[in-house]
């Protein structure tokens, strides 16, 4: 964490100077008053300046990357992690080679890492943050696969007239199926069952 100590005539002026040097806002820092200002004899001799220590708070992204780096190092996996805010979500991309271990069967390991990262970050962050964790573009590829699957099964339902129940999926993947078919003129989708075995059902619109 970046931290500096500043002395000035008042606590507030010391804090303002520190904020300018660090180029951050007041809400982004913790302030510790090391010394209160005091006036000396006749307001001149022996007067003391205020002294503060201003420390930049860790951002949700900093907390997440620090946590993941520690976990991945213990797993013996060398990676680089990049983050960016997009549509209200903090997207973290893990990059490296031979990272199939981090994805797991149908993304189960990746989902578990994402869940733990959200838990750790939101326990330490003042604001609620939604984190989406990805490994080498897996989520994008999975989204494209599920979208194609949804459209293919919708055609099957349309031709056969019988509903189709998909395998259990996490909330994010179920949302992909629902979104892919939300404007379909012939079929509709809904979910049933309890987590983690909740499934999407595709059925004709006039049958549900």
Confidence (pLDDT) at 40: 62
Confidence (pLDDT) at 64: 92
- CATH classification of the domain holding 156: 3.30.1370.50
Confidence (pLDDT) at 195: 82
Cα–Cα distance for residue pair 54/15, rounded to 1 Å: 7
> Of the candidates 82, 104, 136, which is a domain's last residue?
136
Could you tell me the mean pLDDT of each successive run of 10 residues in the chain, 208 residues long? 83 86 83 81 66 87 91 85 86 84 83 91 85 89 93 95 91 91 94 89 82
Both 131 and 164 in one domain: the answer is: no
- CATH classification of the domain holding 75: 3.30.300.20
Both 66 and 110 in one domain: the answer is: yes
pTM exceeds 0.75 for this model: no
> Of the candidates 56, 79, 95, which is a domain's last residue?
56
Both 132 and 65 in one domain: the answer is: yes
> Of the candidates 136, 161, 190, which is a domain's last residue?
136
Burial code of 123-157, b = ≥16 C-beta within 10 A, e = fewer? ebbeeebebbbbbbebbeebbeebeeebeebbeeb
Q: Give 17-68 as a DSSP string.
A: HHHHHHT--GGGEEEEEEE--B--BTTTBT-B-EEEEEEEPPPHHHHHHHHH
- In total, how many domains does the chain have? 3
Structural domain harbouring 194: 141-207
Angle between helices 60-74 and 108-124 (to 10 degrees): 130
Both 65 and 123 in one domain: the answer is: yes
Beta bridge partners of 35: 51
- State the pairing for strand pair 164-165/199-204: antiparallel
Both 174 and 124 in one domain: the answer is: no
Confidence (pLDDT) at 156: 95
Confidence (pLDDT) at 1: 65
Both 31 and 84 in one domain: the answer is: no
């Amino acid at each position: 964490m970046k931290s500096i100590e500043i002395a000035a005539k008042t606590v507030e002026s010391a804090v303002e100077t520190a904020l300018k040097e660090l180029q951050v806002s007041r809400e982004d820092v913790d302030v510790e008053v090391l010394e209160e200002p005091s006036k000396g004899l006749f307001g001149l001799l022996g007067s003391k300046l205020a002294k503060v220590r201003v420390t930049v708070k860790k951002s949700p992204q900093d907390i997440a990357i620090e946590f993941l780096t520690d976990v991945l190092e213990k797993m013996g996996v060398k990676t680089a992690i990049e983050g960016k805010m997009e549509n209200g979500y903090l997207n973290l991309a893990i990059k490296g080679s031979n990272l199939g271990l981090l994805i797991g069967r149908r993304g189960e390991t990746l989902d578990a890492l994402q869940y733990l990262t959200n838990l750790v970050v939101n326990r330490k962050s003042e604001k609620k943050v939604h984190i989406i964790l990805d490994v080498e573009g897996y989520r994008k590829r999975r989204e494209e696969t599920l979208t194609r699957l949804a459209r293919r099964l919708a055609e099957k339902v349309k031709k056969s007239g019988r509903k189709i129940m998909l395998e259990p999926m996490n909330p994010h993947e179920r949302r992909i199926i629902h979104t892919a078919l939300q404007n379909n003129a012939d079929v509709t989708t809904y979910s049933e069952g309890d987590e983690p075995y909740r499934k999407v059902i595709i059925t004709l619109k006039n049958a549900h």
